[in-house]
Amino acid sequence: MFRPWVDPAEVRAAGVRLREQTPAETHAHHEPAGSRPDPVHEVERVNTGRLRELTAVRVGRMVSSPFAFLRGSAGLMAADLAATPITGVAAQICGDAHAANFGLYASPERRLVMDVNDFDETVRGPWEWDLKRLAASIVVAGRESGVGAEQCRSAARDCAVTYRAALREMAGMPVLEAWYLTTDHNTLEHFNIGDLTATFDRVRKKAKKNTSRKVAAKFTQRIERDEWRFVPEPPILTPVPDDVAEEVVDGLEDYAEQLHPELRYLLSSFSIEDVAARVVGLGSVGLRSYVVLLHGNGEDALVMQVKEARSSAVAPYLPAGFPVYSGHDGQRIVQGQQWMQTVSDILLGWTTIGGREFLVRQFRDMKGSIDPATLKPDELDDYARVVGAVLARAHGDSADPRLLSGYCDGTDAADGVAFDAAIAGFAARYADQTERDHAALLGAVRAGRIPATFDI
């Protein structure tokens, strides 16, 4: 497990040499391959195995805008990224690192941190794929909010700039100090995010109130003195048959057995009151997902989410030589999240219900997010810098930041500028591709080829 000590300068030099085989300028490349999946066929393929009554909801959400389409098409973009140059350096990647998959949540110490917050597609893969998806999503989101073309490109470029800067900072830190680094508002301020301060403050205040107690107050009611139930709100929140509820509870019992003893004791202080089905975010619509209401001390409530985990949409497109995961997909998501986040939900876990694999976590534990498709030009640029730095920190825990920094920075300032420009160039080209793909799906919906529901 341990390795011989290597001079940091040698590691950085190895990163610089990677530019010889993969010049930074080549990252601007995007030419759709002849074998590229048809975007409508890809949406239909991804819907296979989902709850049929909800697949039209997913299509309806994806067709609402190019940014929504991008959010729901991680697999399609992975197919495109498979044709782009890579350095061959593996990191634990999100696999779906678009700009809306970052946000605030509570650390175990009840402190708000900013980090990547969706890991359904996480794998060991090329670090460039996350950065390119993030940069492209910034351009798509900016176009949706009316930001000009050059300003969108500038925001994507600044995302790459702070990605490089954060890697450089980590590369110079003691190993443990870099590992302990957290991305809260204070540590992000030095990336010049003044135009985003008011938005951050608003989201932070809202996130602090987003707790199980608030969820219980909003979505449940007391039936009797010691009995609570979820209030149905179809089609978003619906009751489940007794046999399904029993399977979910059994799955939670199995999940609890995998936790540390002190966390099992913590959960033993709660009783399960109710189980309901709840439709989840855009990319996961149609997957089986449940919320579980637990009753603790007095009016105390804990709401858990039990969400179906499927194989990563990115995995089929990984280049040769990258590891192929073959275990429990709930466990894959948990381990990827714990590796990439600075801190994670203490109750993260996985289980199997009815032969299907599931992820288990707290529901809405002080979560808050910024919608990048609503940001003004200066705010978009600040947000791009924030998420670029956050992604670099997430990658730096599983790939040597000295190696990545050497590659991204090169030997002089011009090398770094070339890298930033290439990422921005790719982002603009892929935003054009996303708009074409969205138009294709919209045309298929209008032609009646694929059903879509728009009312929720």
Q: Are strands 102-106 and 112-116 parallel, antiparallel or unpaired?
A: antiparallel
pLDDT digits (tens, 9 = 90+) for 83-118: 999 999 999 999 999 999 999 888 888 888 889 999
**Max CA pair span of the chain:** 71
Q: Are strands 289-295 and 271-278 parallel, antiparallel or unpaired?
A: antiparallel
Q: How confident is the model at residue 190 (pLDDT cuts 50, 70, 90)?
A: low
243 backbone dihedrals φ, ψ, rounded to 5°: -65, -35
Residue 184: what pLDDT?
Answer: 67
Q: Is residue 147 helix, strand or coil?
A: coil
Neighbour tally for 416: CB within 10 Å: 20
Can you tell me the distance from the alpha carbon of 23 to that of 17, in angstroms, rounded to the nearest whole number? 10
Please report, as a single letter, which amino acid is at residue 339: W
Q: How confident is the model at residue 121 (pLDDT cuts 50, 70, 90)?
A: very high
Can you tell me the distance from the alpha carbon of 17 to that of 131, in angstroms, rounded to the nearest whole number? 20
pLDDT digits (tens, 9 = 90+) for 124-169: 999 999 999 999 999 999 999 999 999 999 999 999 999 999 999 9
Can you tell me the distance from the alpha carbon of 431 to that of 426, in angstroms, rounded to the nearest whole number? 8
Average pLDDT on 265-289 reads 92
**Angle between helices 127-144 and 377-396 in degrees, nearest 10:** 170
The closest of 316, 348, 306 to 95, measured between CA atoms, is: 316
Can you tell me the distance from the alpha carbon of 102 to that of 118, in angstroms, rounded to the nearest whole number? 8
24, 415 in Cβ contact below 8 A? yes
The token pair at 326 is: 């073959």
CB-based burial label for 225 (10 Å; 0-12, 13-18, 19+): exposed
For the entire predicted model, the pTM comes to 0.95
The token pair at 183 is: 């991305």
Enter the DSSP assignment of 454: -
The rounded mean pLDDT for the chain is 92
Average pLDDT on 186-199 reads 70
Instruction: Give yes or no for residue 456 having a pLDDT over 60.
Output: no
Residue that has been written with the tokens 């409530």 in this structure: 301
Can you tell me the distance from the alpha carbon of 84 to that of 128, in angstroms, rounded to the nearest whole number? 9
Instruction: Give yes or no for residue 195 having a pLDDT over 80.
Output: no
Q: Is residue 368 helix, strand or coil?
A: strand
